[in-house]
Amino acid sequence: MGIFDLFGGRTLEAVLEKARKCLAGGAFDDALKAVAAGLERFPDAAVLRETGHTIRRAQARAGMDALLGRIDRDAEPAAFEQLIALYKDVGMTAEMISMTERYVEEHPDREAPHLLRGEQALEAYFDDLRVRDGRLAIDHLLRAGALHPDSLKPRLLLAEIFFAIGADRALMGQAIAIERLAGEDEVLAPVVAAIREVARPTQNESVDALLSKVEVSGQVVRDPSTWSQRKRRGIGGEQDAARVSLRLERLVREEFAEEAVAIDRSGAILGCATGATLDAREPKADGEGGEAAPESALAGVARAVARTVKMQTRELEMGQFRRCTVEGPFGVMVVADAAGGVVAAKGKKGTDANRLAERLSVAVEGGRGRRAS
């Protein structure tokens, strides 16, 4: 009997329901098994990953308290690193960053805290391409490299961001160091070769100006995943657009929402559906197809959230944006994070916002990367 026979996880909704029931009953292992099986079938479902984080957080509380005690008592580096890793594992990003910053303050002359904070900022940079995150990553990684000149990792991470923003003079400096430290390492030889192939150093190079240029354009100069294996998030893959559009249409057609839209990280519409767009596709009496309806106002709201609210939550250190709800005479509107972009839906007055948000997440993520039965 397969795991999906045991847990009844034929759909994303069924997996979520089973995992939450197990969590409510304190059956953490069974809940995690349901989530793991669900991720095999729906590997890109953020709502399922977040459920897994919630379960692991519930399990991890005792261990966190013990580590916090060791840190408060002795500021022990090993306790810092274990707690930071635990926070990362259970998705407590704000706590992870705060504890890493405390680690840097307590042990400013150790490489490890600077390397950890630098890599965290680098991850954030490749999510949102903000100058602040890029500068923070570079500063901490340079400090880590200075504290441990023979360490390869900070130099490889610096090479990623310099490669991405086109800072070729700084990039070549890291390439020379990587080549020296790597010696005859065959794994790193292609990295150095890839850097040398594209780098065109100039004398008047400003890393801060290049970071600003990338933030304004919303895209990196080069994709470092060609050699670093780092993948930027985003819901706008070409293979996703058709699936997302069909699922949003289904959400509207089945009257869970009146309108729905998905916006990718660049602000482009990945998919949208309203009653008008569905009606426009129905054949008219004279056999002529209808015209597409104009862009919904909901798309404008979603863009505003993507460009303003998401950034402000991070500027004010409020953690990662997850979801916001607006209610009024028009009904209920939900806007939620979706792997780098945003999704939004509007329901009738009296609609359960939590239920609408869950339906929206299932609609957008339920068919992404789904494997054949």
Element (H, E) at 274: strand 269-274
Domains and CATH numbers, the chain: 1-107 (1.25.40), 125-232 (no CATH), 238-365 (3.30.450.30)
What mean pLDDT is predicted for residues 97-122?
Answer: 96
**Greater model confidence, 61 or 305:** 61
Read off the tokens for 84.
């930071």
**pLDDT for residue 15 is more than 70:** yes
The Cα–Cα gap between 239 and 32 comes to 29
**pLDDT for residue 79 is more than 90:** yes
Q: What does the pLDDT read at residue 27? A: 84
A 10 A CB-CB count for 213 gives: 14
What mean pLDDT is predicted for residues 298-306?
Answer: 76
Beta strands at 323-328 and 341-347: parallel, antiparallel or unpaired = unpaired
Q: 354 by DSSP, 3-state: which? A: helix
359 HSE (CA, 13 A, CB side):
25
**Greater model confidence, 199 or 231:** 199
Q: What share of the chain is helix, strand, coil (3-state, %, to 5)?
A: 60, 10, 30
Amino acid at 80: F
Q: What percent of the chain lies above the pLDDT cut of 70?
A: 79
Q: Does residue 154 contact residue 137 with C-beta atoms inside 8 Å?
A: no
The Cα–Cα gap between 178 and 156 comes to 7
**pLDDT for residue 5 is more than 70:** no
Q: What does the pLDDT read at residue 267? A: 67
Read off the tokens for 222.
């080069």
pLDDT-derived band at 140, boundaries 50, 70, 90:
very high
φ, ψ for residue 331, nearest 5 deg: 130, -140
- Which of 146, 74, 137 lies closest to 108, judged by CA? 146
Amino acid at 4: F
Could you tell me the CA-to-CA distances from 82 to 4, 27, 73, 86, 282 in Å, in that order?
A: 33, 25, 15, 6, 58
- Which of 269, 304, 361 lies closest to 13, judged by CA? 361
DSSP track, 62-92 = HHHHHHHHHHHHH--HHHHHHHHHHHHHTT-
Q: Does residue 19 contact residue 47 with C-beta atoms inside 8 Å?
A: no
Q: What percent of the chain lies above the pLDDT cut of 90?
A: 28
A 10 A CB-CB count for 232 gives: 16
Q: What does the pLDDT read at residue 290? A: 39
Q: What does the pLDDT read at residue 154? A: 96
The Cα–Cα gap between 342 and 323 comes to 9
pLDDT-derived band at 171, boundaries 50, 70, 90:
very high
pLDDT-derived band at 46, boundaries 50, 70, 90:
confident
Q: What is the DSSP letter of 152?
A: S
> Which residues have C-beta within 8 Å of that of residue 169, sequence separation ≥ 6?
201, 202, 203, 205
> Which residues have C-beta within 8 Å of that of residue 325, sequence separation ≥ 6?
332, 333, 334, 335, 353, 357
Positive/negative CA dihedral, 363, 366, 367, 373: negative
The Cα–Cα gap between 235 and 114 comes to 31
Amino acid at 241: A
Could you tell me the CA-to-CA distances from 34 to 21, 27, 310, 361 in Å, in that order?
A: 10, 11, 31, 18
What mean pLDDT is predicted for residues 140-149?
Answer: 96
Could you tell me the CA-to-CA distances from 2 to 16, 117, 220, 366, 371 in Å, in that order?
A: 18, 41, 43, 20, 15
Amino acid at 311: M
Q: Does residue 365 contact residue 45 with C-beta atoms inside 8 Å?
A: yes
